[in-house]
A and B are shown apart, each in its own frame.
Chain A
């Protein structure tokens, strides 16, 4: 049982102050800007919700929204099961655990703006390892003209970049399962599938929820990595939500970019709220079983 005491606020106060400065103050600033037409910051006109109307009314916004949603779904459908599978494959001996985890985590260390360069270089028809092998397997040299191939490259790239995080998260959850559970399962004659379904998977729920949250949001707002692969092309087929925002920020369109930021933040809040609801359900479920 936790102590019920409001002195807790004193302990979280420094964190609240730092996040207030780098999170809340900027957020309030964008909310403020989003209702103004701004040429220079000293001269601005109240225009109400005009920017919001323009964004929500535009087909372009909904098209990017749809693309980002599809991308996130595909990313989750691949990375979460793959991450679980790899975590289950990690060997038992201590020496190999450390080495495997360290090698698997290497992609997380690459600077994000280098990731598209790495993959483009890999696919280069003259010097790339894949670029020299793939064409003989039917991969078109002018893959940048094809929607399917561009999507495939971006998805494989994201899987490469981020599955490691899911693996580390899942593996850490697997390590806290007591050995007695496995012994009991062996006595009951449970097969590997039953062990996974009834012992390992339930222990993964909490961590999977976190993994899904992080992976969903980061892929939904993918910015740095996806754009350079094919400049959003062909024909805007890989223009994701954050790209539009990035373009407006580069052009210093204060009003529209602020309105867009607020809309995106509302999506974020909604996702975070659903996450906390789901977590609450999980907690109720596990404490219900314990009593």
Chain B
């Protein structure tokens, strides 16, 4: 009896979880379409598209979207090229201290940004990269680089080692092998890695806050700036909803590769 009803139970559990996952998002979407502060021509509490129009009209919010896209893009451009050779090395070679190095990388991934905010702020101001998107992009490597190495390492380990050996017999050097043979093979892996970099970087706020006091504010900080004496919560929710859009589009584009992102390999 219990066993026969298992598929039914599974469906119910899954739908319940999906409902739970969507509930706050539904709330967000509803409020984003409601006028929450008195404005000419719209009654408080009525349905409106004003909030979304407000994003477009506000120069700060517009530039916040551009900043966010810029730093996430720069972060991916740093992370992926640096992570690929490292992932290859962890996957294929054993060298003195490899296990300890991987441990150190993991330790940096789990280091909460708040622990390192003060010195990173000082270091970056002496390098002259605070208040710029480049600073945030670099700081986010702290957690994105280890996780990228881990994901890519899984993808590389899934490729049979014979392929390396045949390529070497054909006269390929290691770097040329990585460029010509390995990269096309792990292309989906690179896409998945880039997506996870995007995801973790887009939503981060601790570094983003301390590194942008005057300029280069990303969306999360622009939202913070909206909170005040009279908060237009409708606008806040509209910005939040809009900030999820690029991620949601990527998420649906990547959906069939998502689950392959975390193949587990030994180090």
Q: List residues of A whose CB falls within 8 A of some B CB.
A: 2-9, 11-12, 14-16, 18-19, 21-23, 25-27, 29-30, 33, 41, 82, 85-86, 88-91, 94, 97-114, 117-119, 121-122, 127-130, 160, 163-164, 168-169, 171-173, 175-176, 191-192, 206-207, 210, 213-214, 217-218, 221, 223-224, 242, 245-246, 249, 252, 254, 257-258, 261, 264-265, 268-269, 271-273, 275-276, 279, 283
User: Using Cβ atoms and an 8 Å threshold, which residues of chain A touch B34?
Assistant: 127
Tell which of A27, A90, A169, A214 has the most Cβ of chain B within 10 Å.
Answer: A27
Cβ of B243 < 8 Å from any Cβ of A?
yes
Closest to B261 in A: A172
A-contact bits for B236-260, CB 8 A (1 contact / 0 none) = 1100100110011001101110111
A-B contact pairs, 14 of them (CB 8 A): A15-B105, A19-B146, A25-B123, A26-B120, A89-B10, A97-B256, A98-B256, A103-B21, A111-B203, A127-B31, A176-B263, A218-B110, A223-B206, A264-B115
Contact (Cβ within 8 A) B261 A15? no
Complex alpha-carbon distance, A127 and B44, angstroms: 13
Given contacts A18-B82, A175-B259, contact A30 B119 (CB under 8 A): yes
Given the contacts A86-B14, A283-B266, A114 and B220 also touching, CB distance less than 8 Å? yes
Which listed residue (B31, B85, B139) contacts A22, Cβ 8 A? B139
**Most chain-A CB neighbours within 10 Å: which of B21, B88, B202?**
B21
Contacts of A26 in B (CB 8 A): 116, 119-120, 123
Main secondary structure on B side of the interface with A: helix
Contacts of B6 in A (CB 8 A): 192
Q: Is B63 an interface residue (CB 8 A)?
A: no
Question: B116's closest neighbor in chain A, by CB?
Answer: A26
Contacts of A18 in B (CB 8 A): 78, 82, 138, 141, 145
Q: Which residue of B lies closest to A269 (CB)?
A: B107
**Do B262 and A207 touch (CB < 8 A)?**
yes
Task: Flag if B89 contacts A98 (CB, 8 Å).
Answer: no
Cα distance, A112 to B94, chains bound together (Å): 38
Asked if B60 is an interface residue, CB under 8 A from chain A, the answer is no
- Choose among A23, A97, A128, A164 the residue that contacts B111 (Cβ–Cβ < 8 A): A23
Q: Which of A41, A106, A164, A276 contacts B99 (CB 8 A)?
A: A276
Partner of A121, one of B27, B141, B202, B261: B27
Q: Is A14 in contact with B114, judged by CB distance below 8 angstroms?
A: no
Q: A5-B95, A108-B203, A111-B223 known; A14 and B82 CB under 8 Å?
A: yes
| B18 in contact (CB, < 8 A) | yes
The reply to whether A223 and B94 form a contact with Cβ atoms under 8 Å apart is no
A22 contacts B138, C-beta separation under 8 Å = yes
Which residues of B are found within 8 Å of A27, using beta-carbon distances? 116, 119
> Are B112's CB and A217's CB within 8 A?
yes
- Min Cβ gap B141→A in Å is 5
Bound CA–CA A14/B116 (angstroms): 21
1/0 per residue, CB under 8 A from A, across B14-54: the answer is 10011011111111101100100000000000000000000
How many Å lie between the Cα of A95 and that of B8 in the bound state? Answer: 19
Given contacts A2-B93, A8-B98, A15-B83, contact A111 B202 (CB under 8 A): yes
